[in-house]
Structure 1
């Protein structure tokens, strides 16, 4: 008993392969940073085809998220609602984000904060007890809701972007029916960056990287995407922690680039064989021009110029 650990720490946040398109979830400072009013809907199935030994486990893990972001002059506001289900546990995250963008060095520096509620629930009916008569084992579904906060900063210009954020700032704790045990959300650091390179008139390439850490563990993911004619894009990344290779791509479905469909497919190339089923992700996003506030700009024509 002396050598048994007193606590266990593991990643609690949902994971997305299309992280370069999911900036608001990673960093509240990204709210309104791209200058568009944007709506996004994402679905992810982790380890598709996985079947647990317990029929009631529910199969593969799945995540759904809706997000909204809008710029207002030098400010940005955003919101996301996330549902993450993994076996008997369900996490739901609802956050409002606000960011202030400061012109700096030919680009802009954004600082942001997000606040909301994080709900965690466990369905004890999906767990198999070694001793079913143990009075400490709960019955039914038990859920708790706690306030949750995140902070972040992000700099971007026409060439590159880089951001740093801290999630679960207050480390909310969940007992889920236990009077002695706690299940805290560990503080998680995110570093996210990308470089925009133009290769002629038709090709753009963007190297991207994401580093995640809860202090005890670090996960690194990086790769690049290539865009053709501002409409079609493909890319690939490699996730070091899970030994994953990810292929992704997308298309703008409308000529004005307002509607975009994107997808990703994760392939296991090593690591734990229990994770051999692959994963996939789909995202649909719709963007509107940024709102114009204040007086309308005068329209000048040669006819009335002189």
Structure 2
């Protein structure tokens, strides 16, 4: 993150922001296997439950800058997903801040499932609004009072859209999605820059391996690209008795991630999960740790078109 700006350097920084956005416009989640609706709209309603989730991520926690809070990324994601027969409805709201730049994303998604070859082929799409803002008061110019440098917070909102497909069975799933298809451009008060929201493509896959009645092992993989740069992460999660789970993944040229979680309550409807990133790549410019926590609550799928049974002491059925 650039911390000291002269007038020419500030202009150059905005011109280069488009290239910086290729790798940084979307936040990364270590618990991506539990947050699939964020990557692919076709995952809406995928697990057959009405699910509410709240995620908080602190990227490179403890990073120390030359002033204020240092500018390390902080991300919050709220989502819910509802299956209705062969249709899934989803929504998420994202707040992501890194230094003076804030990204906020609000998306409504839908998926339609078609039975195919012993599984389901889901086709999904989503649309919403993407807000990007920059707080010029958090920048430090080399020449205080320069009239060419903006002050205050400048923001823009543009429509955004994504599509995706996903094939799922009881043993595995694989999905492909294309996000930010409208390619919105944000000037943010700088006429010399356009700061595009670059289209991003995700490949997400996993499978379930059964070892007896109590143990499941799930290999997982996520690949993302803007067709110029690629990033991959993957590993495995093990679940015991459908209640306790732990896992390890590796993110290319960045970190080894240790994860764990527990399903609470008698019906296991409340899930608490966490991830701890041990940064092993680029440590000269990063804090060596990141962490993520996720709280999830699930309800049974709504029963559409069925009357509620009323039971009385006289008539039992």
Per-residue CA deviations over 1:216-261 (Å, capped at 9, x if unaligned) read: 110000100000000000000000132x000001000112111000
Per-residue CA deviations over 1:112-137 (Å, capped at 9, x if unaligned) read: 11100000000001111123344331
Q: TM-score, normalised by structure 1?
A: 0.92
1:273 Cα deviation after fit: 1.7
1:257 corresponds to 2:268: yes
1:151 corresponds to 2:163: yes
1:47 corresponds to 2:60: yes
Which consecutive aligned stretches of 4+ in structure 1 deviate over 4 angstroms post-superposition?
4-7
Does the 8 Å contact 2:208/2:218 carry over to 1? yes
2:131 aligned residue: 119
Return the alpha-carbon distance in structure 1 between the equivalents of residues 292 and 66 of structure 2. 25
Q: Which moved more, 1:171-180 or 1:280-289?
A: 171-180
Return the alpha-carbon distance in structure 2 between the equivalents of residues 200 and 131 of structure 1. 68
1:29 corresponds to 2:42: yes
1:137 corresponds to 2:149: yes
Q: Which moved more, 1:58-67 or 1:71-80?
A: 58-67
For structure 1, which runs of at least 5 residues remain unmatched after alignment?
Answer: 299-306
1:204 corresponds to 2:216: yes
Return the alpha-carbon distance in structure 1 between the equivalents of residues 173 and 308 of structure 2. 30
Per-residue CA deviations over 1:196-216 (Å, capped at 9, x if unaligned) read: 110101100000000010111
Which of the residues 159, 177, 186 maps onto 2:189? Answer: 177
Return the alpha-carbon distance in structure 2 between the equivalents of residues 129 and 109 of structure 1. 53
Return the alpha-carbon distance in structure 2 between the equivalents of residues 234 and 85 of structure 1. 29
SS at match of 1:274: coil
1:229 aligned residue: 241
1:295 Cα deviation after fit: 3.4
1:296 Cα deviation after fit: 4.8
Which of the residues 25, 28, 31 maps onto 1:15? Answer: 28
Does the 8 Å contact 1:220/1:241 carry over to 2? no
1:106 corresponds to 2:106: no
Q: TM-score, normalised by structure 2?
A: 0.89
1:83 aligned residue: 95
Return the alpha-carbon distance in structure 2 between the equivalents of residues 184 and 136 of structure 1. 22
Does the 8 Å contact 2:63/2:70 carry over to 1? no
Return the alpha-carbon distance in structure 2 between the equivalents of residues 131 and 186 of structure 1. 32
